[in-house]
């Protein structure tokens, strides 16, 4: 499984790099597949409502034909409905691959994964009912193959296929049921979406406006220029030589036609079970880099910042066991994804995954080796990078003369570590984080920006010269941009001359307060 | 904006256009439906009740007296629902042969048939035959109970049973059904063979009936 993950990660990185070159990291659609899928769902609902007004269960194909023949609205709204659903499947597939490649499928994220698999199935079923509703040759083929699959199950004694045999006209009730499902399932997708993001503190549901507008208008232009054709009406007495298939929804059609029904069923069930079971195969031991965050109650002042910053709702404030009048933070390990963002949010450095708390970071900074041959004679500009930064960027920064310090996520970085670098002789500190919408910790760059420049709790102290600190984005595919950021910053820092922060002029570390009844609270 | 950057963005627009066209193509790309055997089709689709094959025995007065009053019936019948042999021949060569029977665990439900059989197109003689396999000619008294007076409880029950038996016999598929027809099947066309419950015969159709 690890090898597959690695392969997926490398492929994703290459695709990400290309998309960043094409559209820049702000509007890289590959970072936004989940939100693009939601935007497309909205398009589907809006266009679907319009189509609903004109659809007739008593004359399904004829009513769609009238829509398709309407050159003003009907034709392109129908096409937009169709292409948006196809684009949604593509977006969801990329989203799934992305989550898998980025190891975001297990542990506390398993609920999102499994609910995502169910949602994807809902999207398919909703799509199939939509095609069947039209009752063109493709819709009929889907219905016939679906009925064949259904008839293989010992549920109904009457073969469903007889409905399409031509003995009598297909009852309107059949199209009504399809219509009902086609409306009801997207509604349940909405409810499922709520479960899908329920673990997140602040889910992002929509893409940045320019990207959303670009995707939707692109599909709109496609619908106007090349509208989706309407295949002929299905005739039970004619087996068409070929049908125009929507491969995004019916990629399985040739297999089901070719394979024995039992094998087709076994394949479908196995695929679904395997997809839902991915979190079992991808999970890691909750130790080392994956260990959940812990709170040191002696340091926690009860400021209530980490519960606000935690993107996964993993921290709550609970009464203390000692006689201090504040609450104390408590991490639920079952919800913690070990992103380390809480470590950056705690001014007294009392919380974080083991080895990544603010204190651990200060320790590492104090032992940091600034010695880089190329810049031995001048104060270096330190580059702090997120661990997800591609190795090519790291090497290029090193070659450009930057000593590198790595953190698991830019949101994990404690601002005191930045200050410590400056005290220890760095001329400047530049922090490279992932593109905000690509952050595996979800909100790392956002919170770091606020802590550095907008006085969010655990802020960078006012005594630190902001001209010597910079926050930048490094994205695969934008090496030139990463280097340019570094060089510009290094030049501007050089122009400032020697900085005047004295080493250890003020202690950056709080002293732990004793816990009287020091009984560690366990999460229940 | 540097030339290189602009070139990338132009490539991005081209990629988006390519992606959109690929999306459309993937949305409508034709697929040739495989025709497994023959390019035309005979489709058998019907639902009909199987005949009940019974063996009956007349109970003596003494036997009748031993039964609880509500179960007394002069003619006691036991039986099964008949199986049928379905054969399909095209131009006198058999292309399908199967035993069919009613649905349900006791096979007392209607025979619900749906078969699609590929046949070569062209001028064809298609013969579909359904023949009962189980016979009612087994030994036993299957005559109706006419000697019990109709105005007694026993007579009323005997009459009701006889009516029920007649109704079942009326609704059941005949012992032999044959559709023998010469047709011209164009490639991709379907001959639908169905069972007409009213006329109690097989019918063949090659086009939708006009509503
Ligand atoms: S941020 Fe630190 S001090 Fe504040 S509640 Fe969390 S652990 Fe306690
Ligand atoms: S590491 Fe901290 S911020 Fe991240 S999920 Fe765990 S408790 Fe929340």
Q: What is the count of structural domains for chain B?
A: 1
pTM of the model: 0.87
Report, as an integer, the average pLDDT of A352-365.
94
Pocket flag, ligand 2, residue A294 (CB < 6 Å): no
Q: What is the pLDDT of residues A240-282, one digit of tens each?
A: 888 999 999 999 999 998 899 999 999 999 999 999 999 999 9
Comparing A367 with A227, the larger pLDDT belongs to A227
Report the gap between the CA of B71 and the closest CA in chain A (Å). Answer: 32
Q: What is the pLDDT of residues B156-190, one digit of tens each?
A: 777 887 788 888 888 888 989 999 999 999 999 99
What φ, ψ does residue B40 adopt, rounded to 5°? -120, 180
Whether A375 shows a pLDDT value over 60: the answer reads no
Taking all residues of chain B, what is their mean pLDDT, rounded to a whole number? 85
The H or E element that residue A362 is part of is helix A358-366
Choose among B8, B30, B207: nearest Cβ to A242.
Answer: B30
Nearest ligand, CA of residue A305? 1
Whether A500 shows a pLDDT value over 70: the answer reads no
Pocket flag, ligand 1, residue A435 (CB < 6 Å): no
CA of A302 to the centre of ligand 1 (A): 5
Rounded (10°) CA dihedral A277, A282, A283, A285: 150
ipTM of the complex: 0.88
Taking all residues of chain A, what is their mean pLDDT, rounded to a whole number? 91
Chain B residues with beta carbon closer than 8 angstroms to that of A221: 20
Pocket flag, ligand 1, residue A301 (CB < 6 Å): yes
Comparing A518 with A511, the larger pLDDT belongs to A511
Q: Which CATH architecture has domain A30-232+244-282?
A: Up-down Bundle (1.20)
Contact A351, A331 (CB under 8 A): yes
Mutation target to probe the A interface, by most A beta carbons within 10 A, among B5, B25, B33, B207 is: B33
Distance CA B33, CA B31 (A): 6
Our mutation pick for probing the ligand 2 site, out of A104, A289, A292, A312, counting the most ligand atoms within 8 A of Cβ, is A312
Q: What is the pLDDT of residues B135-153, one digit of tens each?
A: 764 444 555 556 666 667 7
Distance CA B193, CA A167 (A): 9
- Residue B152: the pLDDT is 73
Whether A221 shows a pLDDT value over 80: the answer reads yes
The H or E element that residue B183 is part of is strand B176-185
Report the gap between the CA of B205 and the closest CA in chain A (Å). Answer: 9
3-state SS of A49-89 is HHHHHHCCCCCHHHHHHHHHHCCCCHHHHHHHHHHHHHHHH
Comparing B72 with A299, the larger pLDDT belongs to A299
Contact A434, A475 (CB under 8 A): yes
Q: Hey, where are the domains in chain A? A: 30-232+244-282, 306-508
Whether A357 shows a pLDDT value over 80: the answer reads yes
Distance CA B179, CA A281 (A): 59
What string of DSSP letters covers B30-47?
Answer: EEEPP-SSSSEEEEEEEE
Whether A409 shows a pLDDT value over 90: the answer reads yes
Q: What is the pLDDT of residues A135-190, one digit of tens each?
A: 999 999 999 999 999 999 888 878 899 999 998 899 999 999 999 999 999 988 88
CA distances from residue B70 to B64, B135, B144, B156, B163 in whole angstroms, order as listed: 11, 31, 20, 12, 18
Q: For residue B152, what are the domain limits?
A: 3-207
Which of A191-200, A513-522, B33-42 shows the highest mean pLDDT?
Answer: A191-200
The sign of the CA dihedral A330, A335, A340, A345 is negative
Report, as an integer, the average pLDDT of B54-68.
85
What's the N-to-C CA distance of chain B in angstroms? 68
Report, as an integer, the average pLDDT of A346-370.
91
Point out the least confidently predicted range of A108-117, A118-127, B101-110: B101-110
- Contacts of residue A414, defined as CB under 8 A and 6 or more positions apart, other chains included, come to A343, A344, A346, A349, A357, A358, A361, A362, A458
Choose among B28, B45, B211: nearest Cβ to A244.
Answer: B28
Distance CA A61, CA A234 (A): 9
- Residue A286: the pLDDT is 86
């Amino acid at each position: 499984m690890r090898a597959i993950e690695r392969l997926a990660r490398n492929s994703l990185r290459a695709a990400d790099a290309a998309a960043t070159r094409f559209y820049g990291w702000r509007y890289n659609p590959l970072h936004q597949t989940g939100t693009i899928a939601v935007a497309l769902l909205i398009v589907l609902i809006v266009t679907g409502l319009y189509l609903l007004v004109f659809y007739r269960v008593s004359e399904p194909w004829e009513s769609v034909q009238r829509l398709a023949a309407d050159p003003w609205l009907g034709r392109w709204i129908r096409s937009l409905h169709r292409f948006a659903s196809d684009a949604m499947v593509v977006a969801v597939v990329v989203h799934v691959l992305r989550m898998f490649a980025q190891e975001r499928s297990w542990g506390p994220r398993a609920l999102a994964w499994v609910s995502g698999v169910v949602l994807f199935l809902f999207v398919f079923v909703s799509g199939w009912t939509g095609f069947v509703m039209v009752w063109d040759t493709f819709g009929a083929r889907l219905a016939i193959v679906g009925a064949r699959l259904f008839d293989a199950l010992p549920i109904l004694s009457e073969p469903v296929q007889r409905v399409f045999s031509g003995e009598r006209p297909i009852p309107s009730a059949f199209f009504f049921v399809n219509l009902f499902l086609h409306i009801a399932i997207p509604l349940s997708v909405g409810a499922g979406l709520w479960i899908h993001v329920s673990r997140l503190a602040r889910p992002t549901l929509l893409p940045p406006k320019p990207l959303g507008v670009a995707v939707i208008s692109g599909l709109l232009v496609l619908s106007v220029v090349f509208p989706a054709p309407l295949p002929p009406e299905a005739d039970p007495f004619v087996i068409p030589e070929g049908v125009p298939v929507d491969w995004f929804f019916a990629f399985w059609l040739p297999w089901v036609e070719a394979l024995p029904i039992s094998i087709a069923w076994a394949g479908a069930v196995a695929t679904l079970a395997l997809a839902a079971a991915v979190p079992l195969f991808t999970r890691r031991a909750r130790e080392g880099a994956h260990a959940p965050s812990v709170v040191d109650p002696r340091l926690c002042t009860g400021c209530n910042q980490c519960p606000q910053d935690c993107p996964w709702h993993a921290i709550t404030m609970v009464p203390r066991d000692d006689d201090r009048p504040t609450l104390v933070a408590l991490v639920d390990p079952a919800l913690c994804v070990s992103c380390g963002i809480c470590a950056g949010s705690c001014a007294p450095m009392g919380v974080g995954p083991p080895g990544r708390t603010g204190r651990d970071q200060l320790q590492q900074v104090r032992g940091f080796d600034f010695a880089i041959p190329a810049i031995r004679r001048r104060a270096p500009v330190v580059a702090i990078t997120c661990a997800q930064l591609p190795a090519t960027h790291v090497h290029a920064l090193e070659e450009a003369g930057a000593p590198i310090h790595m953190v698991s996520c830019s949101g994990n970085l404690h601002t005191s570590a930045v200050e410590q670098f400056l005290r220890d002789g760095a001329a400047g500190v530049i922090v490279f984080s992932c593109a905000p919408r690509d952050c595996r910790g979800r909100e790392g760059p956002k919170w770091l920006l606020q802590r550095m420049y907008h006085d969010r709790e655990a802020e960078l102290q006012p005594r630190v010269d902001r001209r010597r600190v910079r926050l930048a984005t490094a994205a695969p595919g934008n090496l030139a941009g990463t280097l340019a950021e570094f060089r510009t910053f290094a030049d501007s820092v050089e122009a400032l001359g020697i900085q005047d922060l004295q080493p250890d002029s003020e202690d950056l570390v709080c002293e732990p307060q004793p816990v009287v009844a020091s009984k560690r609270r366990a999460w229940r | 904006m540097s030339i290189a950057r602009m070139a990338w963005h132009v490539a991005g627009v081209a990629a988006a256009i390519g992606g959109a066209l690929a999306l459309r193509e993937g949305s409508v790309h034709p697929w040739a439906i495989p025709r497994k055997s023959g390019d035309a089709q005979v489709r058998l689709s019907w639902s009909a009740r199987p005949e009940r094959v019974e063996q009956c025995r007349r109970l003596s007065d003494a036997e009748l007296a031993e039964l609880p009053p509500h179960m007394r019936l002069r003619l006691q019948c036991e039986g099964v629902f008949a199986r049928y042999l379905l054969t399909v021949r095209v131009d006198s060569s058999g292309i399908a042969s199967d035993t069919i029977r009613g649905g349900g665990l006791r096979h007392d439900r209607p025979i619900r048939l749906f078969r699609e059989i590929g046949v070569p197109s062209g001028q064809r003689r298609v013969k579909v035959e359904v023949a009962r396999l189980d016979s009612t000619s087994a030994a036993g008294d299957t005559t109706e109970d006419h000697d019990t007076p109709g105005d007694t409880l026993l007579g009323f029950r005997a009459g009701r049973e006889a009516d029920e038996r007649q109704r079942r016999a009326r609704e059941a598929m005949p012992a032999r059904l044959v559709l023998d027809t010469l047709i011209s099947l164009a490639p991709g066309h379907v001959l639908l063979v169905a069972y007409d419950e009213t006329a109690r015969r097989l019918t063949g159709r090659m086009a939708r009936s006009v509503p």
